[in-house]
Amino acid sequence: MIGTPNNGRLRLAFSLVNGSQDLGPDSTPVSHAGSECGAIEFTREDVEALVSEKMKSKNKFNYKERCENMMEYIKRLRLCIRWFQELEGEYAFEQEKLRSALELTERRCYEMEMALKNKDEEMNLIILELRNSLASLQEQLVKVESEKKAAMDSLVKEKEARDSIERSKASLSEELDKVRAELDSANQRIASINDMYKLLQEYNSSLQIYNSKLQTDVTAAHETIKRGEKERLAAVENLHNLRGEHKSLQDQLTSSIASQDGVMKQKDALLNEVACLRMELHQIKDDRDQYQQQAQSLAVEASKYKELVTNSSGLEEKCLSQGNQIQILHDQLAVAERKLQMSDTFALEKRKEFEGQKEIIEELHKCLEDAEFKLIEGEKLRKKLHNTILELKGNIRVFCRVRPQLADDSSSNHGKVFSYPTVMEYLDRSIDMTHNGQKHSFIFDKVFMPDVSQEEVFVEISQLVQSALDGYKVCIFAYGQTGSGKTYTMMGKPGQPDEKGLIPRSLEQIFQTIQALQHQGWRYEMQVSMLEIYNETIRDLLSTNRDSSRFENGVTGKQYMIKHDANGNTQVSDLTIVDVQSSREVSFLLDRAAQSRSVGRTQMNEQSSRSHFVFTMRITGVNESTEQQVQGVLNLIDLAGSERLSKSGSTGDRLKETQAINKSLSSLADVIFALAKKEDHVPFRNSKLTYLLQPCLGGDSKTLMFVNLSPEPSSAGESLCSLRFAARVNACEIGTPRRQLNIRTSNSRLSYG
């Protein structure tokens, strides 16, 4: 790569490269620090001259000189080659920088495209909401117009009635005029027709009476209308005034009245003090008059008795002091009057403040009513949007969870089995697995890494649990091999509140939500049942007589039958159903069922579930204000773990249990494959598990599967099978979820959805 020198580099004369030292007087040697070639650059002409240069020597047989020239030439060639290598390295570095900048720019462009896409979706949702609000406003407008039209019709009818009355009045006045004209003509002939005059006079008086009666009726009708309007306004005002006043209003009113009473007491005290001061003033005035009289008498006596001059001067001083006391009392009276005026002003301000507080409380009460109305409307909208979102996400959703590495896990085969791509599009939704040197990628609705807590897992399914309260059938089941953490996901660790599983957290959310919905008029009834499928046999975990459910010579005491009705509901005959009213009652039943559940020890797990555990809660809700009724079903299922006989080392009863578990899980896989291929026949009856879950897998239920994985390299084969099965489940399409709004009869008992 030969070309022009780069900017910022110092290009030396080629004579320096060739070994000559003809530098200028002001030139300095070039620094070669950091590079063997220093700051030297070559042009195309320099390279061509170096390549075409011929060896010159005075004596062609002087091999030593020729060898030195050749070595010098080779040295300059090496210098040129090194310069080319450094230049090529710089170009490669620049190319790598440009490539990384290009990748960064492409990534930013992709992120911007995704952001724009998300914004577009948000705008579409906003447009849809605006259209819905426009439709509702149009409906309200039509309703208002219809009401306005009805009011106009009533007004027109009232005007027509008034017009008819006016017309009858006008006709009566015309008749009265005619009668008066006839009366005038009859007066001219009064002498000859006295009898007829009397008759006409009586007729005229009767008409006047009838006219006055009509006028009084019209006046009474107007007064009745005005009185009805006043009564209506008074009723509306009383309705607004008597609407539930808030407790804070009463407290503030009481405090304001108490403060006003205190001010009035202070005012009364000041008035009493002023009255006392006035009485003292009058007393002092009387004393002063008396003293003046005494002074006058003493002055008269002083003219007679000069020896009493000193006493009179003392009395004058006493009078002067009494005058000073009177002035002081005047000042005190003025101060008391100012205090009284200030107390009156303070009382007036307190009264105004009380009125203002009363208005503020009324406004707050109105705002509270508006907020409660908006809260109810928002709750309705939230339920509608929540169910729409879940329906758009798909009926059968799949979450993947990898349990963390445990202390007793085998540490023989070190290696990272799972990895989690960080691409923005598939963040927290994809998982990669490496098995036998081959990489397998899977995408699900949600992927939980080992460090995710139980609370974070429950947050993702909390809305699905809410659907059961809204009247939908909901099914959540955990799938995976033995020791992958299914029971921990569903139940958690006993005695550790921070590690509670999905079932206890779901119950807490349900009862908290029920308590919060009580002020909206909702009342709920809940029924709970728990069973296990052990060796293809249903066992009631809440039965009071546990011996009747256990094996006796290969036959159980009760034969539980699974039945489906036309509405997609499932019932298990003779199953114990318990009415519950609190999460504490359900927790007690869960502990009781856990003690009755079949567990055993294998080489893969100390406490391995040897049966499929099914927890079912039926929720019936009635809104007393709207008379709306909903029926929801929540199924939470902990499946037994799949395992290989070679790894579990099962023998005897454990061998039979393992074979039954693998058979039922294989039937579940057959059902999923048939649903994925949309075959006409789906083998639900191949096992009790699939037949029990038929409405959840092929009906109108909202279904979620947790696929649990073990991070051990020795379990990679089973984990790969679980991931492939979960991918098939995620691809299944079943019916659209349907909200249950049936009226609950007195014989209605718990059924499975």
Residues annotated as binding site for ATP?
480-487
Q: Find the largest Cα–Cα distance for the chain.
A: 188
DSSP 516-576: HTGGGTEEEEEEEEEEEEETTEEEETT-S-GGGTSEETTEES----EEE-TTS-EEETT--
CA distance 567 to 700: 10
Distance CA 686, CA 675 (A): 15
Instruction: For residue 607, give both structure tokens.
Output: 């406490």
Q: How far is CA 99 from CA 92, 95, 104, 110, 503, in A?
A: 10, 6, 9, 16, 51
3-class SS string, 18-59: CCCCCCCCCCCCCCCCCCCCCCCCCCHHHHHHHHHCCCCCCC
- Say what the alpha-carbon torsion angle 538, 541, 542, 546 is, to the nearest 10 degrees: 90
The continuous run of DSSP H or E covering 608 comes out as strand 608-609
CA distances from 298 to 285, 313, 316, 321, 345 (A): 19, 10, 10, 18, 51
Tokens in use for 345? 């002003």
Tokens representing 77 are: 């060639």
Instruction: List, in order, residues 6 or more apart from 382 with CB less than 8 Å away.
Output: none
Query: Are 476 and 517 spatial neighbours (Cβ–Cβ below 8 Å)?
Result: no
What whole-number distance in Å separates Cα of residue 329 and Cα of residue 273?
12
Q: Which residues are annotated as a binding site?
A: 480-487
Cβ atoms of 424 and 705 within 8 Å: the answer is: no
Determine contact, residues 672/684, Cβ cutoff 8 Å.
Answer: no
Rounded distance between C-alpha atoms, residue 429 and residue 399, angstroms = 9
Question: Are the beta carbons of 632 and 750 closer than 8 angstroms?
Answer: no
CB neighbourhood size of 413 (10 A)? 10
Query: Tokens standing for 200?
Result: 């006409």
Rounded distance between C-alpha atoms, residue 370 and residue 401, angstroms:
44
* Amino acid type, 254: T
Answer whether 75's CB lies under 8 Å from 67's CB.
no
Provide the 10 A C-beta neighbour count for residue 600: 16
Nearest to 433 by CA among 711, 645, 159: 711
Pinpoint the alpha helices (H) of 545-652: 583-596, 645-648
Tell me which residue has tokens 């007195």.
746
| The amino acid at 210 | Y
DSSP letter, residue 446: E
Amino acid, single-letter form, for residue 277? L
3-state helix, strand, coil in the chain (%, to 5): 60, 15, 25
Distances (CA, A) of 450 to 361, 640, 711: 53, 21, 9
Q: Which amino acid is at 713?
A: P
Burial label for 625, CB within 10 Å (0-12, 13-18, 19+), is exposed
Phi first, then psi: what are they for 446, rounded to 5°? -160, 140
How many Cβ atoms from other residues are within 10 Å of residue 325's Cβ?
15
